Structure 1
Amino acid sequence: MEYFVTGATGFIGTHLVERLVSDGHHVTALTRDRWNADHLPDAVTVAEGDITDKETMRDAMAGADGVFHLAAWFQIGPGPWNAEKARRINVDGTRNVLELLDELDVPKGVYVSTVGVYGNTGGEYVDESYRSPRSFPSVYQRTKWDAHYEVAEPMMDDGLPLVVASLGAIYGPGDKSYGGTPRTGFQGLLRGDLPMVPDDFVLPFDYVADTAAALAAAMQAGEPGEEYIVASEPRNITDVFEVAADITGVEMPRSVPGSAFRWLGRGVSILEPMVRPPEGFESEMLRFFGTGPVLVDNAKAQRELGIEHRPLEDGLREYLAWEVDQLGMDVDVDAPTDSEPAVGAEP
């Protein structure tokens, strides 16, 4: 099959492209700068273009059997200073990609959304039929909500052969991201400069290779016009970091109520017009981590797409081994933990 992939040079996109190539497909990877694609497999066709400029994608997308649209602006924290850029990429760029998919009669597309568009679900597990009010602390969530419900969903209702796949928080080797991503938190934990974590922030945390497999399954088995939550079961961030701390032997940061993050966010917002806070302490970041649990039910994706996610402990061991190497730290992530032996060790 011939696949066209936006966001192909990013963290998730790179893993998806590698999987598609290993499965025997041909991939055309869209990138704004060709040198960004040097790490992709040699078999990939690299096309220069920009999702905010519709015509730069037309020739490269023509003839594709399927389109994966992953490209997005994603940062939590500096969102207020990038609101126009986020909307141009996440909303207008998505409209450009999906309009071209329609104009070129591409048989099928997969649009990558986020479970962040559900927000705090009020303690209830929700499925794909749930629609939250558009009241989010971050520019990223608001623009992804607009792209999901004001661009993709209406076009699907009009017959566009599109599948929406909603992701959780993604971690794994090869992550070069920054600014409010899971990697930022894990690096802070490893370096010992993460002062606290909210005790009521719940979100799916998924290993990147499993996410790439889920997106490939959405293209292969997803029903056009349908949405699938392809994330794993939600986990409390305190539990996630406790597992990471146990694996690496680093100290676990203090767990505090999410309300503390909300109050801090309000205070910082008063000062931000005069002094920009350090990365990680922006009011948007603090309010985001004070929003509470995002509880989602992935039963539909398990049933119809056959998605699978490895145990969190296994994924974190593989990721943290890579991360401590990137940071040049002397940490043994393969040592047995207090609660569970390392993989391959005798119980």
Structure 2
Amino acid sequence: MRIAVTGSTGLIGSALVRSLLTDGHHVVRLVRHRSALGPHPDGSTAIGWNPARGEVDRAGLAGVDAVVHLAGAGVAERRWNDAYKREIRDSRVLSTRTLATALAELEKPPAVLLSASAVGFYGQTGDRVIDESAPAGSDFLAGVCVDWEAAARPAEEAGIRVVHPRTGLVLSSRGGAGGRLFPLFKLGLGGRLGSGEQYWSFVSTADEVAALRFLLEADQVRGPVNLTAPNPVTNAELTAALGRVLGRPTPFPVPEFALRLALGEMAVEVVGSHRVLPAKLLAAGFGFRHPEVEQALRAALDE
């Protein structure tokens, strides 16, 4: 298959591209910097786009069979202020609208667009178990996810099968929010965050990539799909599991007020709770390699 990928240098994107290339697929990267255009040493090809300006190399997209759209500013990269919240939203909504519109206008559109989203769609749900049938939340990230998914509508209206993978906490030692935990815990400085009672819906990098590849070919699946392991855990349970995996104590809980002082508004995502199940993936027959948190953490260490 000829597959176009945005966000190809990110945590998920880079793992997905490696997996696709290993299996002989032709990967077309969408990049913003001219210096990165053309053939890459790994065998992929890069074409240009500028999502903020609504620009994309349509000729370079011609002939792609599928598109995986993962681009977006990191939610936890910086402390939130009005400017960065605008960047978080615009980097997702504008890029999705630009890409979906371009794909819809191709003479031969691709069969499928996987346009990323997140479990933040649901807002804070406490210990209530939810699946893809749950409504949107009302906080900032929930609003971002609603607009993010809606921006892909031009592709859907053009007959492209559109899937919105709503990803949870990706457990990886290489980066992302999970990657920030490992160094602290290795030093014996880890502990639960806030009360520790909040649910974290996690997924291993391997299962995230495998699920994306499964969705590329699962013709019967469309719309929102939760990309989370089937056994979400509390922050306290994840903390204890990481301590066991690393053989380190976890004696330093961080109280909620300290998190709010350090992180500002973003602290709601740390102390908030999402108990999300991957109902549509399981119903479609996807099998998780790492359904339990300790399995996922050990896989992260092996990356």
* TM-score, scaled relative to structure 1: 0.75
Change (3 A) 1:235 1:309: farther
1:22-41 to 2 correspondences below 5 Å = 22-33=22-33
Tell me the equivalent position of 1:297.
277
Q: Which runs of 5+ in 2 are unaligned?
A: none
Q: Secondary structure at the match of 2:124?
A: coil
AA at the equivalent of 1:171: L
Choose from 245, 248, 261 the match for 1:247.
245
AA at the equivalent of 1:102: A
CA distance in 1, matches of 2:71, 2:64: 17
Change (3 A) 1:130 1:196: closer
AA at the equivalent of 2:294: E
**Rg comparison, structure with higher value:** 1
Report how far residue 159 of structure 1 moved: 4.5
Mean Cα displacement is larger for which, 77-86 or 100-109? 77-86
Tell me the equivalent position of 1:45.
45
Tell me the equivalent position of 2:263.
282
CA distance in 2, matches of 1:151, 1:91: 6
AA at the equivalent of 1:107: A
Tell me the equivalent position of 2:68.
68
Choose from 90, 93, 102 the match for 2:92.
90
**CA-to-partner distance for each residue in 1:225-260, whole Å, 9 max, x for gaps?**
42211211211121112111112122214457xxx5
Q: 1:54 aligned to 2:58?
A: no
Choose from 188, 204, 221 the match for 2:184.
188
Report how far residue 154 of structure 1 moved: 7.9
CA distance in 1, matches of 2:99, 2:154: 14
CA distance in 2, matches of 1:47, 1:155: 20
Report how far residue 12 of structure 1 moved: 0.5
1:153-172 to 2 correspondences below 5 Å = 156=156, 159-172=159-172
Cα pair 2:173 2:179 within 8 Å, conserved: no
AA at the equivalent of 2:241: V
AA at the equivalent of 2:234: N
- Amino-acid identity (%): 26
1:129-208 to 2 correspondences below 5 Å = 129-136=133-140, 140-148=141-149, 150-152=150-152, 156=156, 159-175=159-175, 177=176, 181-194=177-190, 196-198=192-194, 199-208=196-205
Cα pair 1:217 1:305 within 8 Å, conserved: no
Aligned length: 295
Q: Which runs of 5+ in 1 are unaligned?
A: 269-280, 323-347
Q: CA RMSD in A?
A: 2.8
Q: Secondary structure at the match of 1:282?
A: helix
Report how far residue 191 of structure 1 moved: 3.0
